[in-house]
Structure 1
Amino acid sequence: MARVRAKDTRPEFVVRRLVHGMGYRYRLHRRDLPGTPDLVFPARGKVIFVHGCFWHAHAGCALARMPKSRQDFWSAKLQGNAERDSRNMRALRRLGWGVMVIWECQLKNLPRLRARIGRFLDA
């Protein structure tokens, strides 16, 4: 697991390129915010998290299937990740930030994702 990246992942780069191409400017990985959001739009008061479906236990997603070995370990690990994500999102909302989560599997339909991001950032 030491080789698993926490930031600058392929899905994150895809979202960054998409958002930048839409004309939005952002900050990366603000450590002073709960959960260190992937993209931060300070002037808009919005943040975007780009979650890998497996690592963040995306419910109902084929990319989030449970490994067949060491299921006790993986179950606890992935459930802990999901609980931490929920805590961080609640904390951000309490601070007045708008929060959006983009799942890895949503990158398959970029036009739909572009529209969703536009609606979120312009609201």
Structure 2
Amino acid sequence: MSAPPEEVPGPAGAVTVRYWAAARAAAGCDSDAVAPGTLADVLAEVRRRHAADPRFGLVLDMCSVLVSELAVGSRDQAAIDVGPDDVVDLLPPFAGGAIQLFSHLPQACLRMTSCD
């Protein structure tokens, strides 16, 4: 597992979005400070900020999301309020969880055998 993102204080009242592992690599930073709003708004803003790297959107779409250490799961992101000073953690799949990335491949590929 990667080291925790470096805490960089954002402006007072901002939402801190922390990136882990592949999300951090694609974002090119440990965290961002964004305006409060719904979770959908917050994620749209970080997607906009990192649109130059197409990997970011791909990783973001697969991340587990926590808001102030509570898992969001399949809840509607537009219905979740993210307030001032809340922390959003974006956790991409770790070992064993990355199969979704490759679900379009033949099963033989997923077993690390020849894909011919």
- TM-score by structure 1 length? 0.22
More helix by share: 1
* Relative contact order, higher structure (CA 8 A, sep 6+): 2
